[in-house]
Amino acid sequence: MSKIVYKTDEEIEIIRENCLLVCKTLAYVGSQLREGALGAELDANAETFIRDHGAEPGFKGLYGCPSTLLISKNEVVVHGLPNKEAFKIGDIVSIDCGVLNKGFYGDAAYTFAIGEISEEVMRLLVVTKEALYKGIAAARKDKRLGDISYAIQYHTEKLNGYGVVRELVGHGLGRKLHEKPEVPNYGKKGRGVRLQDGLVIAIEPMINMGTHRVAQGKDGWTIYTKDRQPSAHYEHTIAIRNGMADILSDHEMIEETIDKNDNIQKISLKI
């Protein structure tokens, strides 16, 4: 059974560098998002962008993944494969990206809103994004993994009535894309691994408007909500350093791109 691999400060800085490249890639892709854009084109552009920056796509080829990006639209929770189906006004699009460089991975994800979306769907995006930061706020030295999980579940499920996906979770990150420990988006306070300096984890709420239940598509990758209602997904990679959560990825550069792209809406937080 594999153990948690704690990271040195030097290793954490390499992971930060990679996570920042992931977010630069997501910002670059976000600048191209619009009605009529094709996922397959965004994917090809993202691969070129990453390689031009001296890194390798982190997902492509891993576990047989055929793409650089995972693009999940509307009722697709995660692991949607890029295709040539044009995006439409009102689509929400989760884009997940990873890179590999200097022996370590970077990982982050962001859900975009193309054009006008309903107030109900916008609320789902806002609450999911809030939950990400609630989880990060709970990540402190000597706290437990369950404290992160509980914070996310309480905000999304208890307070807002959404479905928290059980089958898919966050994860440790380092020389492998998926390391110990798993980071569920549901759980109980005071349970699980004690958080220590040097722990690097990807926290990624996957929250459904309706049921928490999901199903897998025939392609063996796509995960969608069983009731076909929308799902949202945001992800940061963090490290526990000096007792606190150090966010290694950066959504702000993505949001700066959104501010400049009239084709997509900004997801504003209330917290």
Residue 230 lies in a domain: yes
Residue 1 lies in a domain: no
Helix (H, G, I), strand (E, B) or coil at 216: strand
| % of the chain with per-residue pLDDT over 70 | 99
Residue 33 bridge partners (DSSP): none
Residue 2 lies in a domain: no
Give the per-residue pLDDT at 270.
57
Tens of pLDDT along 67-105?
Answer: 999 999 999 999 999 999 999 999 999 999 999 999 999
- For residue 42, pLDDT beyond 70: yes
Residue 270 lies in a domain: no
The tally of domains found in the chain comes to 1
Strands 206-208 and 231-233: antiparallel
Tens of pLDDT along 217-269?
Answer: 999 999 999 999 999 999 999 999 999 999 999 999 999 999 999 999 988 76
Residue 58: partners with Cβ closer than 8 Å, 6 or more residues away: 18, 22, 97, 98, 99, 100, 105, 106, 107, 177
**How many whole angstroms separate alpha carbon 183 and alpha carbon 209?**
21
Contact 257, 27 (CB under 8 A): yes
Q: For the domain that residue 201 is a member of, what is the CATH number?
A: 3.90.230.10
Nearest-10 Cα torsion for 184, 208, 220, 187:
10
Find the mean pLDDT for residues 113-127: 96
Residue 4 lies in a domain: no
Residue 101 lies in a domain: yes
pTM here is 0.97
Residue 249 lies in a domain: yes
Residue 51 lies in a domain: yes
Token pair belonging to 77: 């929770």
Residue 2 binned pLDDT confidence (cut-offs 50, 70, 90):
confident
Tens of pLDDT along 124-159?
Answer: 999 999 999 999 999 999 999 999 999 999 999 999
Nearest-10 Cα torsion for 187, 188, 193, 197:
100
Question: Residues 15-18: contacts with CB within 8 Å, 24+ apart?
Answer: 15/104, 15/105, 15/106, 15/173, 15/174, 15/200, 15/237, 15/239, 15/248, 16/106, 16/239, 16/248, 17/101, 17/102, 17/106, 18/55, 18/58, 18/99, 18/100, 18/101, 18/102, 18/104, 18/105, 18/106
- For residue 1, pLDDT beyond 70: no
Give the per-residue pLDDT at 268.
77
**Residue 222 belongs to what domain range?**
9-265
Give the per-residue pLDDT at 267.
84
